[in-house]
Amino acid sequence: MTTLTEVARHAGVTPATVSNVLRNRGKVGAATRERVLASVEALGYRPNLTARALAEGRGPTLALMVSSIANPFYPEFALEAERAARKRGHFLLVCNTDDDSNVGSAYLDRIAGTLSQGVLVMNADLHFDDLIKTQRRGASVVLCMWERPDDPPGLSCIAVDFRQAGRLAARHLLELGHRRIGAIVGSAPNGVQAIRYVGLVDALAQVDASLPAKLEQETRFVEDDVEGGYAAAMDLLDASPDLTAIFVSNDFPALGVLHAAADRGLRVPEDLSVIGITDIHWARLSRPALTTVAVPTAQAAEMAVELVLELIHDTPKEPTTWIAGEPQLVVRKSTGPAPSRG
C-alpha cells in the first residue's frame, strides 16, 4: 500500500504538502501541486481513511441502528440514508439490534464515538439512557422518525407528523362516506404508532362527536406486520361484520387486512375499504393496490444524515428537532365509496 510519505518522497516534497494538496487546505504552489498530483497518480495512492480518522479525531462512518434490516421499511430508509451519507463523503454502518436492547446497547458501546461519530436511530428497542450515554461519549445521535413534531423527545430528531397522516387517512375514508370504521394499530396502545390513531380520532370527532367512542370497540393493537394485520382484521370482522372500512396505522398490517378480506370473500374496495400509512414499495404491488398515506421517507433520511453531520460539527446544548415534509394521501385501489346497506 502506498502511503502519503511515499508520495511525498516521490514528488520531492514533505508529507504535509501532499496532505495540503489532497485536502485543498493551505496554499500550495501550482507547480508543486501538479507534481504531487502526478505522483499520486503514478503511485496509485489512496488515502488511508483509518489513519485520517484517527488524526482528525472522527471517522467517516455513520451508524444506522435498526431492529432488523430485513424489516421491509428499513431498507427503503437505509438506501436513502446511504446515498445522503455518500454524497457527503460518509459511509453507512448497518447495525441490527435483533429486537434485543442488549444487542443495541452493546453496539452503541462498541462503536459510538470511535468508529462512528454519528448514530442514526430508527428503532425503538433502544433504551433512551443508552442513547444519552452515547452522546456523553462524544457521539451525536438523531432519532430518524419521531412521530410527534409537537412533542420533541429529549434527543435530536427528524420529526414527521404522523398524527396528520392519521387524519388524512381518516378524512379520505370519511369523504367516501364511511362511518362504520374499524382501526388496527401496529403497536401497543401507548406505543409509537398510537399517535396515528389519535389522528384518526381527530378526524372522526370533527365529523361526529359520537364516533370516537364507538371506535374504541373496533380497534385492535397488534404486531406491526402482515400476520398481525391479518389476525386483527379477522377478529374485527367477526366482532363487527358491518364495518365498511378499516384504518390501519401501517402498510404491513394493511396488507394483512387485504388478505383477510380475500379469505372472507369480501371484495376490496366494494365491500370493504382498507387504508394504510407509510407508502412502502410493496403498497403499490398488492392486490388491489393499497391506498395509503405516504410519509416523506427519503427526505427524512437525508435530513437525518444532514442533521447528524451538523451535530458532529458542533453539538448544541439543546436537542434539535427538524420537521420533515407533510404526509400525502395516495389513492390507489383499496378504498372506495361506502357500500349503501340495504
Residue 1 found at the interface with DNA (CB under 7 A): yes
Q: Mark the segment that binds its own copies (CB under 8 A) among 107-115, 122-130, 191-199, 234-242.
A: 107-115
H or E stretch covering 131: helix 128-136
4, 13, 36, 93: which one binds its own copies (CB under 8 A): 93
Q: Which of 88, 285, 328, 331 binds its own copies (CB under 8 A)?
A: 285
Task: Find the length of the chain.
Answer: 342
CB 205 within 8 A of CB 198: no
Note the Cα 89 to chain centre separation in Å. 21
Q: Does 55 interact with DNA (rule: CB under 7 A)?
A: yes
Q: Is 287 in the site for DNA (CB under 7 A)?
A: no
Give the torsion sign (CA, 248, 253, 255, 259).
negative
Q: Which of residues 128-147 bind its own copies (CB under 8 A)?
A: 137-138
Among the residue ranges 22-30, 86-94, 169-177, 270-278, the one whose residues contact its own copies (CB under 8 A): 86-94
Return the number of the residue (197 or 230) whose C-beta is nearest its own copies. 230
Q: Provide, rounded to whole angstroms, the least separation between the CB of residue 190 and its own copies.
A: 29
Look at residue 316 and give its three-state secondary structure. Answer: coil
Among 9, 44, 47, 277, binds DNA (CB under 7 A): 47
> Do 157 and 120 meet the contact criterion of CB atoms below 8 Å apart?
no
In whole angstroms, give the CA distance from residue 32 to residue 36.
6
The torsion angles phi and psi of 192, rounded to 5 degrees, stand at: -55, -40
**Binding piece for its own copies, criterion CB under 8 A, among 82-90, 124-132, 299-307, 315-323:** 82-90
Asked whether position 234 contacts its own copies by CB under 8 A, the answer is no
Report the C-alpha gap between 103 and 94 in whole angstroms.
13
Does 86 engage in binding with its own copies (CB under 8 A)? yes
**Contact (CB, 8 A) for 212 and 183:** no
If you search the block for the grid coordinates 359520537, which residue do you land on?
210
CB nearer DNA, residue 48 or residue 71: 48
**Using the rule CB under 7 A, which residue among 10, 17, 172, 268 binds DNA?**
17
What are phi and psi for residue 303, nearest 5 degrees? Answer: -65, -40
Min CB(46)–DNA separation in Å: 7
Report the chain's C-alpha Rg in angstroms: 25
How far is 142 from 188, CA to CA, in rounded Å? 23
Residue whose C-alpha is closest to residue 145's, from 198, 202, 80, 91: 80
**Interface with its own copies (CB under 8 A), residue from 49, 132, 213, 239:** 49
The option from its own copies, DNA, none interacting with 82 (CB < 5 to 8 A, set by class) reads its own copies
Does 255 participate in binding its own copies (rule CB under 8 A)?
Answer: yes
Cell for 59?
471517522
Footprint on residues 82-101 left by DNA (CB under 7 A): none
**Is 29 a residue that touches DNA (CB under 7 A)?**
yes
CB nearer its own copies, residue 123 or residue 164? 123
Per the CB < 8 A criterion, the answer to whether 278 and 73 are in contact is yes
Site residues (vs its own copies, CB under 8 A): 1, 46-51, 53-54, 59-61, 68-70, 72, 74-76, 78-79, 82-83, 86, 91-96, 98, 103, 109-111, 113-115, 137-138, 226, 255, 259, 262, 281-282, 285, 287
